[in-house]
């Protein structure tokens, strides 16, 4: 994307989102399954992907940079879409990187098939197909939260397409079913149908930002709130339930010892994200989500791993304090840069 267009979208992001981030503005907010009317920070394109006998559309943003610099692929988390990577993408692009930000199938502006067999392997394969479409041979793969599980699976499946792996407060650093009860997708479906604007805000304020709240944080709840109040709530609840299932039933941590690429873990150590904490197995006293401990455990599992800890920051360090995040992110980007 040309600089003039990039700055246009950046200006739109910085000027419109904070102004809209007033909780009273969400009372009548609705979005359909494809987030029609929700503005992304950069131009959105769509890739037609064939998967599991279905013709699906994968939304993505692609900012072209210096051809001599690597392409960075930014993978979103469970409660987000690619738009929240905006500040990171602008910072990367200003340094010459090309950036690809896909919305995975089931998320954001991409297709929402209710009868899709969601798996990290399938999403990784869709991402690899998108890379082929854009003639991207190799990339730095960055994943946040659930996107970290996807990024790990991508690196395991396609080490030849992965220049390095960067995990930002990834979930899946623990094998959850080792500690918690299995819950059927119907359990998650019922939970998703019960979502409200207040529940969504309260969850993110408590779990992501340690009780703090501002217009920037509030803005990233808008897609979820619009969906919870929108016309496709039932469809979206079914899709969300299936993607929850893969978090619990498709661990990647058990395969960390066979990751073949240089890997960086960037962890806000205040994070306590622990899926399934509310339904642990009887007799289990293990404390899930201790990111102040998990980093040092995980780097011993991955052959070429480097840990960057950010004390005092939580689940979204790139949103909570970008200045601190970018310092360690810059180091992670050039980690083992001699390995191609």
The CATH number of whichever domain residue 152 belongs to comes to 3.40.50.1820
Residue 258 lies in a domain: yes
Q: Global pTM?
A: 0.93
- 60 within 8 A of 103, measured Cβ to Cβ: yes
Residue 338 lies in a domain: no
Residue 233 lies in a domain: yes
Q: Which tens digit of pLDDT belongs to each residue from 66-121?
A: 999 999 999 999 999 999 999 999 999 999 999 999 999 999 999 999 999 999 99
Average pLDDT over residues 238-251: 98
pLDDT greater than 80 at residue 64? yes
Q: Which tens digit of pLDDT belongs to each residue from 176-187?
A: 999 999 999 999
**Structural domain that includes position 140:** 3-333
pLDDT greater than 90 at residue 264? yes
Interacting residues of 224 by C-beta distance below 8 A, sequence separation 6+: 79, 195, 200
Report the half-sphere exposure of 271 (CA within 13 A, side-chain side): 28
Residue entry with tokens 């709130």: 225
Residue 36 lies in a domain: yes
Residue 339 lies in a domain: no
Distance CA 226, CA 243 (A): 19
DSSP β-bridge partners for residue 101: 61
Distance CA 273, CA 288 (A): 7
Average pLDDT over residues 201-221: 96
pLDDT greater than 90 at residue 56? yes
- 324 within 8 A of 313, measured Cβ to Cβ: yes
Distances (CA, A) of 6 to 3, 9, 42, 114, 116: 5, 5, 7, 34, 34
- 142 within 8 A of 168, measured Cβ to Cβ: yes
Q: Which tens digit of pLDDT belongs to each residue from 162-206?
A: 999 999 999 999 999 999 999 999 999 999 999 999 999 999 999
> What is the tally of structural domains in the chain?
1
Residue 340 lies in a domain: no
């Amino acid at each position: 994307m040309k600089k003039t267009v990039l700055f246009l979208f950046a200006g739109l992001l910085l000027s419109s989102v904070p102004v809209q981030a007033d909780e009273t503005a969400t009372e009548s907010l609705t979005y359909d399954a494809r987030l029609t009317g929700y503005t992304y920070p950069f131009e959105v394109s769509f890739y037609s992907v064939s998967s599991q006998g279905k013709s699906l559309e994968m939304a993505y943003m692609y900012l072209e940079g210096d051809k001599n610099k690597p392409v960075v692929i930014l993978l979103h988390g469970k409660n987000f879409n690619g738009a929240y990577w905006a500040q990171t993408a602008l910072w990367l692009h200003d340094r010459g990187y090309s950036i690809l930000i896909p919305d995975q199938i089931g998320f954001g502006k991409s297709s929402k098939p209710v009868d899709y067999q969601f798996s990290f392997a399938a999403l990784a394969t869709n991402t690899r197909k998108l890379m082929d479409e854009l003639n991207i041979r190799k990339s730095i793969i960055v994943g946040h939260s659930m996107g970290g599980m996807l990024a790990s699976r991508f690196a395991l499946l396609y080490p030849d397409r992965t220049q390095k792996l960067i995990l930002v407060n990834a979930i899946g650093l623990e094998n959850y079913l080792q500690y918690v009860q299995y819950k059927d997708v119907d359990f998650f479906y019922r939970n998703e149908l019960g979502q409200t604007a207040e529940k969504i805000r309260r969850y993110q304020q408590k779990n992501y930002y340690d009780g703090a709240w501002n217009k920037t944080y509030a803005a990233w709840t808008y897609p979820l709130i619009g969906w919870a109040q929108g016309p496709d709530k039932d469809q979206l609840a079914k899709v969300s339930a299936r993607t929850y299932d893969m978090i619990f039933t498709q661990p990647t941590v058990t395969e960390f010892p066979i990751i073949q690429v240089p890997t960086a873990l960037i962890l806000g150590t205040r994070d306590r994200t622990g899926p399934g904490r509310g339904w642990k197995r009887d007799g289990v006293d293990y404390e899930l989500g201790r990111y102040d401990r998990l980093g040092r455990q995980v780097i011993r599992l991955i052959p070429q791993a480097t840990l960057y800890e950010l004390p005092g920051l939580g689940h979204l360090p790139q949103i909570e304090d970008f200045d601190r995040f970018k310092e360690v992110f810059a180091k992670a980007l050039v980690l083992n840069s001699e390995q191609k």
